[in-house]
């Protein structure tokens, strides 16, 4: 199998000419610190070379520890992995962006980031409280800073070599378009929820046109059941091609031209999620014809993270 036809090795070029990103990414949104360490090591051992982090996940220290130990144990150089983290909503004020990145680098034990993202377009009250609330329990937003103000601070981090690329997360086309037009350094990556129940086709087309990497989170529907992993179309294809439903969903995501983030929490699942291969055209078409539409994470509408518990 050639490198270009092997989905596991596919790389997405960055529109700033500064390298590329492995399409198959490992996400570190794992609440338990000990599991963060074992899962990150397991992902590295399985072959993942792209790691997605965030200061909001409150586990950058554990990810950094696991990466440092894992790279040393496997003889992998820093340049061989691609590491992303994200500036949180309470750090949108321009003067807070640089220190936020330095804090993340320190916790991750890294000298530079491959990619720094604005986690959501929503600015919260500036400060160290990540979830600022008023007396009624409502989030306190910050009207004193615009997304473009924050973006300008991100651009200067690229100028100063603290990160190689910058991008956005949890953003829709309506907000992306004006930012894209005004940006001196164009976004290299947009990270949003995407799977067969939420294909985000218009955003994907825009990203392809502009050379922006569309990075899908929750490609397995966040593992929720009932859900995508039990969808009859996905299960039937999995049985037909001799793969698991998870492998079918991950292959579909890469074959439609997106990068993805998945979060296997143990070594066996990491090997499963890395061991993907191309689906035949008819299978891709069947998945594209799925009519169910469902957004699982409302963060894009509020800036407040969290998957919506499924009724059962
Ligand atoms: N920008 C944002 O706002 C945002 C929001 C959400 C996520 N993200 C990023 O995207 C990453 C991925 O999102 P996600 O966690 O929703 O990804 P996902 O891979 O769709 O879902 C992960 C869940 O699926 C289950 N799973 C994983 N592999 C499986 C397999 N082979 N078979 C069956 N179940 C499997 C796991 O459940 P178990 O618990 O049973 O192991 C895990 O909890 C996150 O870690 C984070 O980095 C970003």
Residue nearest to atom 40 of ligand 1 (CA): 223
Q: What residues act catalytically?
A: 57
Q: pLDDT tens digit string along 265-307?
A: 999 999 999 999 999 999 999 999 999 999 999 999 999 999 9
Residue nearest to atom 28 of ligand 1 (CA): 264
Q: What is the pLDDT of residue 247?
A: 98
User: Is the dihedral angle over the CA atoms 133, 134, 137, 138 positive or is it negative?
Assistant: negative
Q: Are 191 and 217 in contact (CB under 8 A)?
A: yes
Q: How remote is the CA of residue 105 from the centroid of ligand 1, in Å? A: 24
Q: pLDDT tens digit string along 182-218?
A: 999 999 999 999 999 999 999 999 999 999 999 999 9
Residue nearest to atom 23 of ligand 1 (CA): 223
Average pLDDT score over residue span 28-40: 98
User: Any bridge partners for residue 214, and if so which?
Assistant: 190
Ligand 1 nearest-atom number relative to CA 249: 20
Ligand 1 interacting residues, C-beta cut-off 6 A: 27-29, 52, 169-170, 191, 217-223, 229, 246, 261-265, 269, 272-273, 297, 299, 305
Residue nearest to atom 37 of ligand 1 (CA): 223
Ligand 1 nearest-atom number relative to CA 296: 16
Q: pLDDT tens digit string along 120-151?
A: 999 999 999 999 999 999 999 999 999 999 99
Q: How remote is the CA of residue 264 from the centroid of ligand 1, in Å? A: 7
Q: Are 223 and 273 in contact (CB under 8 A)?
A: no
Q: Where are the alpha helices (DSSP H) in 75-172?
A: 94-108, 147-159
Q: How remote is the CA of residue 156 from the centroid of ligand 1, in Å? A: 32
Ligand 1 nearest-atom number relative to CA 169: 1
Band the pLDDT of 223: cuts 50, 70, 90. Answer: very high
Q: What is the pLDDT of residue 38?
A: 98
Residue nearest to atom 44 of ligand 1 (CA): 27
DSSP for residue 136: T
Q: What is the pLDDT of residue 308?
A: 85
Residue 36 has pLDDT above 70, yes or no: yes
Q: Which of 27, 84, 193, 271 to mutate to test the pocket of ligand 1 (most atoms within 8 A of CB)?
A: 27
Q: What is the pLDDT of residue 71?
A: 98
Angle between helices 94-108 and 147-159 (to 10 degrees): 50
Q: Which helix (H) or strand (E) holds 118?
A: strand 115-118
Residue at token pair 């599991």: 35
Q: How remote is the CA of residue 133 from the centroid of ligand 1, in Å? A: 27
Residue 98 has pLDDT above 50, yes or no: yes
Q: How remote is the CA of residue 35 from the centroid of ligand 1, in Å? A: 13
Q: What is the pLDDT of residue 312?
A: 44
Band the pLDDT of 310: cuts 50, 70, 90. Answer: low
DSSP for residue 204: H
Q: pLDDT tens digit string along 158-187?
A: 999 999 999 999 999 999 999 999 999 999
Q: pLDDT tens digit string along 228-271?
A: 999 999 999 999 999 999 999 999 999 999 999 999 999 999 99
């Amino acid at each position: 199998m050639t490198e270009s036809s092997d989905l596991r090795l596919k790389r997405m070029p960055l529109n700033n000419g500064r390298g590329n990103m492995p399409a198959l990414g490992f996400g570190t949104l794992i609440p338990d610190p000990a599991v963060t360490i074992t899962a990150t090591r397991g992902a590295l051992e399985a072959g993942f070379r792209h790691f997605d982090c965030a200061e909001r996940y409150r586990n950058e220290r554990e990810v950094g520890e696991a990466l440092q130990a894992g790279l040393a144990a496997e003889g992998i150089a820093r340049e061989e992995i691609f590491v992303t983290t994200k500036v949180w909503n309470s750090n949108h004020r321009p003067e807070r962006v640089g220190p936020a990145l330095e804090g993340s680098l320190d916790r991750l034990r890294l000298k530079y980031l491959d990619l720094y993202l604005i986690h959501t377009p929503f600015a919260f009250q500036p400060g160290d409280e990540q979830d600022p609330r008023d007396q009624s329990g409502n989030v306190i937003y910050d009207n004193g800073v615009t997304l473009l103000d924050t973006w300008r601070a991100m651009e200067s981090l690229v100028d100063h070599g603290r990160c190689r690329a910058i991008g956005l997360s949890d953003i829709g086309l309506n907000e992306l378009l004006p930012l894209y037009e005004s940006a001196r350094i164009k976004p290299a990556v947009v990270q949003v929820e995407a799977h067969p129940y939420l294909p985000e086709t218009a955003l994907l087309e825009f990203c392809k046109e502009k050379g922006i990497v569309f990075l899908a989170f929750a490609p397995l529907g966040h593992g929720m059941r009932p859900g995508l992993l039990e969808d009859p179309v996905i299960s039937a294809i999995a049985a037909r091609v001799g793969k698991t439903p998870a492998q079918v969903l991950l292959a579909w995501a890469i074959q439609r031209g997106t990068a993805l983030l998945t979060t296997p929490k143990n070594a066996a699942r990491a090997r499963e999620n890395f061991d993907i291969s191309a689906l035949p055209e008819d299978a891709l078409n069947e998945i594209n014809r799925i009519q169910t539409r469902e957004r699982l994470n409302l963060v894009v509408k509020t800036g407040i993270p969290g998957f919506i518990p499924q009724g059962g």
